[in-house]
Amino acid sequence: MAAKYSVSRIGAFGQCRLQYKYRYIDRLPSEMETIEAFMGSRVHEALKELYDLVKNRRIESKDWLLACYDELWEKNFSGSVKVVKKDLGADDYRKKGRACLSDYYDEYSPFDKAKVVSTEETISFTLRDGDQEFQFGGVLDRLDWNDREGMFEIHDYKTSGSLMTKEEADADIQLPVYQIAIASRWPEAKEKAGLIWHYLLFNKQVESSRTTAQLEALEKGMIGKIREIESCADFPPNRSALCEWCGYQAVCPEWKHLRAVESLEPNEYLKDPGVVLVAKYAELEARKKDHQDEIARIEAEQDKVKEAALAFAEREKVKVIDGPGYQLAVSVKEELAAPLKKEDEVRWRSLRDLLIAEKKYTDVSTVNNFMLMSRLRDWPKDLLEKIKAFLVRRVTKEVYLRKKG
């Protein structure tokens, strides 16, 4: 069965490839629902209830909307909903959701700016690249028809704590992808459609639009991303602040052991083989630091002796200073050297430009792995095949002490 792609699926691949694999390839169930996601779902559901009635010309009161939200919250909330932020509780999020709906109702009542076409609609369409087809889908929060402007409006509700800028809206792909889907049913939507994000915590909407050319470029870009995903064979974890909201920590190699021992009693925790290893490594690291600090103090003292020896040699006009069992040989050389970029960037760039102009730059350059890898994706395929003959598979194993928390 061919995979069905979505904006969130493609975003998950960019965020953490291992999470993508767990969710979309291995199809592992997520072990948790965060309070942010829970609140967002209840707000979406309440607005769907409201607009389903608006669609049929029935306008309910704000108290009705808040009561609907409260009922949805009570019906669905359980102890399995995870509150990540330690300084907030579930009831704080419940109040935030109510405030979102209250402000939204005051802003848009009596909801007569446009006609509701659909709410929380599952949409699907096909992206084509030659003979190949890719299925794409998503859930559109609300689709309106604005007969004053003669265009469709695609609405999306956000309960995020960050506010999108106009520049970010103009670059975002979610609603433009939905516009492509809408245009497959109503072709006029490809020429003109309103893209509207409602940031409910800020009681602010952000608007954007796309031209036909921009939508066509987006389609090509999405096909490129899908091809990258389907050709991917390596799915490493990407540790970031977003890990706290991930439902796969129990199986992720970055978090598996931490989650396995966090519920142990203190005595059992200290006996765990992994905990024992970390404690021993940390002890040795601390002992190393003690020696390193002593070495740094010795080297600083040596530098002072060196300065004094140079001054002595210059004053006495000698090159060897004798001592009990040892000697100090003093060497002073003067030579021309290439400038370092950090000490004189203008001179460094001038020299580089001269070498390039004289076609000598490559003679003094070396193979830099970072630069090479960053350019492979842009170079012609026949060149890549030649380069592959010189690449090696390197396995590096390191152990680093990292402070918990």
What's the rounded Cα separation, in Å, for the pair 145 and 154?
Answer: 9
Residue 362 pLDDT class (50, 70, 90 cuts): confident
| pLDDT for 371 | 61
By the 8 A CB rule, do 206 and 196 touch?
yes
What's the rounded Cα separation, in Å, for the pair 116 and 300?
Answer: 75
Q: Which residues pair with 139 in a beta bridge?
A: 122
By the 8 A CB rule, do 32 and 80 touch?
yes
Residue 243: exposure state from Cβ atoms within 10 A (0-12, 13-18, ≥19): middle
| pLDDT for 311 | 87
| pLDDT for 396 | 61
For residue 301 the two structure tokens come to 């003292």
Contacts of 340 (CB under 8 A, 6+ apart): 348
SS3 content of the chain, % helix, strand, coil (to 5): 50, 15, 35
- Of 12-26, 237-251, 369-383, the least confident: 369-383
What's the rounded Cα separation, in Å, for the pair 176 and 183?
Answer: 10
Q: Is the pLDDT of residue 364 over 70?
A: no
| pLDDT for 194 | 95
Q: What is the mean pLDDT of the chain?
A: 86
Region 77-101 average pLDDT: 89
Q: Is the pLDDT of residue 399 over 60?
A: no
Q: Which helix (H) or strand (E) holds 156?
A: strand 151-158
| pLDDT for 186 | 93
In 24-146, where do the E strands start and end? 33-34, 81-82, 115-129, 132-146
Q: Is the pLDDT of residue 405 over 60?
A: no
Q: Which residue has the higher pLDDT, 365 or 287?
A: 287
Q: Is the pLDDT of residue 60 over 90?
A: yes
Q: Are strands 4-5 and 132-146 parallel, antiparallel or unpaired?
A: parallel
Region 237-264 average pLDDT: 84
| pLDDT for 214 | 93
What's the rounded Cα separation, in Å, for the pair 105 and 97?
Answer: 12
Contacts of 319 (CB under 8 A, 6+ apart): 313, 329, 330, 331
| pLDDT for 109 | 92
Q: Among the ranges 25-29, 156-160, 310-314, 366-370, which has the highest mean pLDDT value?
A: 156-160
- Of 3-7, 31-35, 171-175, the least confident: 31-35
Contacts of 8 (CB under 8 A, 6+ apart): 138
Q: Is the pLDDT of residue 335 over 80?
A: no
pTM above 0.85, yes or no: no
In 217-318, where do the E strands start and end? none
Q: Is the pLDDT of residue 25 over 80?
A: yes
∠ Cα 52 55 60 (to 5°): 65
What's the rounded Cα separation, in Å, for the pair 243 and 210?
Answer: 33
Write down the CATH number for the domain with range 114-232: 3.90.320.10
Cα Dmax for the chain: 103
∠ Cα 215 178 111 (to 5°): 120
| pLDDT for 319 | 83
Q: Which residues pair with 155 in a beta bridge?
A: 142, 196
pLDDT digits (tens, 9 = 90+) for 253-293: 888 888 888 888 888 888 888 888 888 988 888 888 888 88
What's the rounded Cα separation, in Å, for the pair 247 and 16?
Answer: 12
Region 79-89 average pLDDT: 83
Q: Which residue has the higher pLDDT, 231 or 197?
A: 197
Q: Is the pLDDT of residue 31 over 80?
A: no
Region 78-87 average pLDDT: 82
